[in-house]
Structure 1
Amino acid sequence: MKYDVNLDLTNKTEEYSFNEVARQANGAAWLKCGDTVMLATVVYEENETVSDDFLPLTVQYIEKTYAAGKIPGGFFKRETKPGDFETLTSRIVDRSLRPLFPKGFGHPTQITIMVFSVDSEADLQVLALNAASAALYVSDIDINRSVCGIRAAKVDGELILNPTLSQLNNSTLDLYLSGTKDDLLMIEMRSIGSENVEIEPSIEPILDPINAGMGGVIVDTHISNALPEDELIEVFAKTQEALFAANTKYEEAFKEFQKEAQPLVLTANQLNEEMVAYVEQNHMADIKEAMNQMAKSERSSALRTLRKTILTTKTDWDEEELKAAIEKVKKIQVRSQILDEKVRADGRALNEVRPITIETNVLPSAHSSCLFTRGQTQALVVLTLGGPKDAQMYESLTDESAQNEEFMVHYNFPGFSVGEASPITGVKRRELGHGNLAKRALEPIVHTDGKTIRLVSEILESNGSSSMATVCGGYMALKAADIETSDTVAGIAMGMVSEGDKYAILSDIMGLEDHDGDMDFKVTGSKDGITAMQMDIKLGGISLEVLKEALYQAKEGRSHIIDIMLEAESKIQFNDGVLPTTDFFHIDPSFIGEIIGQAGKTIREIIERFEVAIDIDKKEGKVKITGKNKSGIEGAKEHINSIVSKPKVAKIDYQVGDKYEGTVKRIVDFGAFVELPDGQDGLLHISKISKERVENVRDILNEGDKVTVEIIEFKGNKISLSMV
């Protein structure tokens, strides 16, 4: 492969080829970084356009398992539907490149990124965006700005740009930025656990046949503190410098490989200024009244009624043009009222959060649940607890083996939540992205303790940031299941309206402000700092001073929400009848043998009788019991304590020929097991019960019978007996 460009960037080198492969695409870039090779292509339909303001852009990031020398697992030995990582990476690339297209670009466009070879230390999300941007930059679409991604990590307090995956795994920060050489376009951020809690391997490898695998090393990763706002701002400043410098290098290096731009017709709706002026002069009161209908369906209905009313007198006007004019006047009114009057469409102050109500454990048969309502946004978040076998198994290209996801957040957004008559189908990219954001927000403060936790957020009503309602409801569902957390976490969606030098930052934005504003900024965290963040900027960038102001206003709103959540937390009543639970206690390690019993017989009897899972630390004598309900756990704990409280019987030094009185414990087809005085069992074979032939052991013996036996043989640790 001949490479046209070799770029030395921060902590990595990228090589590009533009004229070797995929030459029938409108733009293509072959990228090599270390052992990672990927191809990005851009294709659009020249003879097809859509006439509205929607950009018909599709981004697909595709991983090939052969890139890591693997064959797909499962029944079908070829790649099928995209995995979560592929979908989330596609979203990142889409959100970063979509702002580059000129307004009115209506040609259906497909960007495809395919991974052909992978380096185990590669950051595939950063490389995917860089490759896609390069393909778009050199294509014949008239786009002359480069976009790239950069990731920042903090290892032992040191900031590392473009870290390896090993460095990222040891980091307390994962910050992903994308932007041009002039503007920041997108931010994704999460805190990563830095504190490892390890439990020593248990003495018995299979103490839990129901949930096999609970024994052994359990590693739980969490952090005790979120990232403070000031510290994050410092990281932003350093990361942005590297981001902007990298784009300058890309544009200089790629310029000579740009294709001649094709003359494209932009199809943006042209506003009819006569209609705009008419609506402003005659129907501003109707516009304001429509804005007061806060639900999307109600507001749309009010604006539709206004449009029909105007058309009764303006019969020669085009309805679509009038619709665009009304939408324009509405947007002007929303923004000017915020900037000039400091009042929002629903009458709130700029930093005011809508009313919040919280109800916990509203579902009696679920392990826990929370109905979180904020204004006209409502999330029902339901938690289910499981054992290690319930974890989600997954494997990425850069993983050496399959991994287990023990904390899951699944987000569902049915059409009825916004008054739409749409069928419920499979999980969409937006739903996957919102669930992933909520997971990143909550994961740093959750202690799984060897359990599998699944949160499902059902959005019942939506008017602004249902993902942040999922974070708040998710935290409350965790507490309603008595899950230990290191802090209280809430989420809030911020917005901004800006005209020239004037700007206003909005707390807890609703759908109207998201649609007509310039920024969508979701921040989650505790009162002390941030656990996760996602930002998409619609205007041409944002200064660090404005960003800092937005972060601190978000902290103020978050603290307000947390206070309400803490009050609700104090009133939680657990679903004790169905809630699985765990108990920890200590025993004298010298009694572990009695608890396990010969060949694990005693421990298995406890597990089966009380329907629990048991894990024992052989050094410290720590016992962990997990069960479906408290009564089973208490019963198992009481049984173990009764064994420990019994005086220990000294082991007898048995010899061949010794005779003892024992108790028949269990009868089998080939004989009976007899418990000897010190608790050990011996086998009384059917041939040794009587001098005469015995057809059925139960004709001679019953469980519980006292018998006198003689030791006739030792086979390893097994004792053979004969009836005296």
Structure 2
Amino acid sequence: MKPESKKYSTTVGSQTYTFETGKLAGQAGGAVTFGTGDNIVFATATMGGVREGIDFFPLSVDYEERLYAGGKIPGSFFRREGRAHTEAILTARLTDRPIRPLFQDGMRNEVQIIVYSHSSDGINPLDILAINAASAALIISDIPWNGPIAAVRVGRINGEFVLNPSYAEIDASDLDLRIAGSKDAILMVECGADEIPDNIMVEALELGHKSIQPLIDLQMQMAKEVGKEKREVTLFLPGDEIKKKVFNRVSGPMNELLDKPLSKVEFYTGMTAIKTEAEAEMTTVPEGGNPDDFMPVNMFREAFELAEQAIVRERILGEGKRPDGRTPTEVRDIWCEVNTSPRAHGTGLFTRGETQILSFATLATLGEAQELDNLSPNHTKRYMHHYNFPPFSVGEARFLRGSSRREIGHGALAERALEPVLPNEETFPYAIRVVSEALSSNGSTSMGSVCGSTLALMDAGVPIKAPVSGVAMGLITDDKGRYKILTDIQGTEDHLGDMDFKV
């Protein structure tokens, strides 16, 4: 018997959007299609068990762009889709970011979200559809999750905002803002703009958050009417007594360590020494000892991380003291060089604190522009920005693989920042490739790549409209309403803070 599907529709801007569920992928935890007009994506969300020995939440989000959605055959030798291309990886990352924070702390079950393109008119992008479809698949599934979320794209043409613009409208727009959020808050912002005023950006954010509300309401209706009962999961979190014992044991040594300005190595070496000593003392049962007087190693380690987070955050909120001794608004020391390679067309070495980027710019004829084989109407790409993050940049040794999703994402971030200032093809008929090598990392190598690449482009003689720089901004908050905005965050502040906002 053919299963009965249910459809849910609403309007955002001038377009009607429809969720459908109940017909496809009945064995998935949750499955939906979502689309408008001839554009449809399909998303599933499924939860597995707990892999033994892991101490993190194994969430994976994949977007698989199938060219049959646009009536195309892949151009590869085997005529089938291979590894995910750059735009597909960026869509997966875009979907992951607002979804991940809404899972419960301590969750260790494997969760996999897969999104396929099912239909594309080649006129409208599918990335925003993917985020909404993934959220809907999760909210109606048996997976515990504190959603839903929704997403929208905001453009601006001739001074007027446009919701979910087409590819052609994006090209004509001086703003390309993608925003995702819950009913009460913004969770993710990714934006490129042509130097628009701050107040216009605030208006765009407000419009975006207001515009996602119908999609959130629709998903809540879906969860109520067709949603599965949520499964019970074990949360691997230490109890209050363990947290208190560990905090009391390590707070003194931690505060003593943090009383002096610390480099990255000094911070992590010091914290590791405190952790190793306390772990041996609180988890190792001596011969003849009572095991009930000691705690499991995994619970100690979870409690230690919570104690470290609480102490570093309280010092920032209460005293304005950051781990490296800076004030909240202080930027680390900066130094730069150009022309470091005699044969490269342009080079820029940018160092901010312990973060160092060396960027190389190469010019070529337009015939060397990248050829694209995807569902967009763009067939070539004239400006390419690639980012590499070798293990030595963080003092590690490991195998060199192909480009990671993080590396692809960071390269695209720097590319988006620099694209608006590049000369147009008519006045500067060259293909441009910039490669940013992360030589040392302690906070926002992506923004260091923007700065280093500006230097490299100018060194290569590219007549950019204006220099571009970038910085990572952080935020620390608490339940008492206190907050501190941090300028130029380092790795520890990124890991222990509430926001990593790259500007």
Aligned AA for 1:240?
H
Q: How does 1:183-222 map to 2 (within 5 A)?
A: 183-191=185-193
- Unpaired runs of at least 5, structure 1: 193-225, 524-724
The answer for the alignment partner of 1:275 in structure 2 is: 246
Question: Aligned to 2:312, what secondary structure does the other structure show?
Answer: helix
Q: By how many angstroms is 1:348 displaced?
A: 1.1
Q: 1:276 to 1:398 in 2, by over 3 A?
A: same
Question: Aligned to 2:203, what secondary structure does the other structure show?
Answer: helix
Distance in 2 separating the partners of 1:391 and 1:369: 20
Q: 1:463 to 1:288 in 2, by over 3 A?
A: same
Q: By how many angstroms is 1:286 displaced?
A: 4.4
* Cα offsets for 1:281-319 (capped at 9, x unmatched): x42444426x84422x44333222223334565553555
The answer for the alignment partner of 1:163 in structure 2 is: 165
Aligned AA for 1:348?
R
1:461 corresponds, among 411, 425, 440, to 440
Higher Cα radius of gyration: 1
Distance in 2 separating the partners of 1:3 and 1:339: 49
The answer for the alignment partner of 2:291 in structure 1 is: none
8 Å CA contact retained: 2:149, 2:181: yes
Q: How does 1:161-310 map to 2 (within 5 A)?
A: 161-191=163-193, 226-270=195-239, 271-280=242-251, 282-288=252-258, 292-295=261-264, 297-310=265-278
**TM-score (structure 1 length as normaliser):** 0.64
- Unpaired runs of at least 5, structure 2: 286-293
2:482 corresponds, among 494, 502, 524, to 502
The answer for the alignment partner of 2:405 in structure 1 is: 429
Q: By how many angstroms is 1:453 displaced?
A: 1.0
Distance in 1 separating the partners of 2:247 and 2:115: 43
Distance in 2 separating the partners of 1:94 and 1:309: 37
How large is the Cα RMSD of the aligned pairs?
2.0
8 Å CA contact retained: 1:407, 1:453: yes
Distance in 1 separating the partners of 2:397 and 2:219: 46
Distance in 2 separating the partners of 1:501 and 1:288: 24
* Cα offsets for 1:239-266 (capped at 9, x unmatched): 2111234312331244201011222222
8 Å CA contact retained: 1:181, 1:246: no
Question: Aligned to 2:471, what secondary structure does the other structure show?
Answer: strand
Distance in 1 separating the partners of 2:205 and 2:327: 29
Q: By how many angstroms is 1:2 displaced?
A: 4.7
* Cα offsets for 1:9-52 (capped at 9, x unmatched): 3222122221111000011002232112221111111x334665
8 Å CA contact retained: 1:53, 1:268: no
The answer for the alignment partner of 1:18 in structure 2 is: 21
**TM-score (structure 2 length as normaliser):** 0.91
Q: How does 1:415-494 map to 2 (within 5 A)?
A: 415-447=391-423, 449-494=428-473
Distance in 2 separating the partners of 1:236 and 1:272: 39
8 Å CA contact retained: 1:52, 1:268: no
8 Å CA contact retained: 2:313, 2:476: yes
Question: Aligned to 2:136, what secondary structure does the other structure show?
Answer: helix
Q: Does 1:38 align with 2:41?
A: yes
8 Å CA contact retained: 2:238, 2:300: no
Q: How does 1:561-576 map to 2 (within 5 A)?
A: none
Q: How does 1:367-446 map to 2 (within 5 A)?
A: 367-399=345-377, 403-446=379-422
Question: Aligned to 1:121, what secondary structure does the other structure show?
Answer: coil
Distance in 2 separating the partners of 1:127 and 1:260: 25
Distance in 2 separating the partners of 1:8 and 1:362: 54
8 Å CA contact retained: 2:347, 2:361: yes
2:306 corresponds, among 303, 324, 328, to 328
Question: Aligned to 2:133, what secondary structure does the other structure show?
Answer: helix
Distance in 2 separating the partners of 1:398 and 1:515: 35
8 Å CA contact retained: 1:11, 1:163: no
Q: How does 1:43-82 map to 2 (within 5 A)?
A: 43-45=46-48, 47-49=49-51, 54-82=56-84
The answer for the alignment partner of 1:28 in structure 2 is: 31
2:329 corresponds, among 345, 351, 356, to 351
* Cα offsets for 1:528-564 (capped at 9, x unmatched): xxxxxxxxxxxxxxxxxxxxxxxxxxxxxxxxxxxxx
Aligned AA for 1:358?
C
Question: Aligned to 2:418, what secondary structure does the other structure show?
Answer: helix
Distance in 2 separating the partners of 1:466 and 1:320: 31
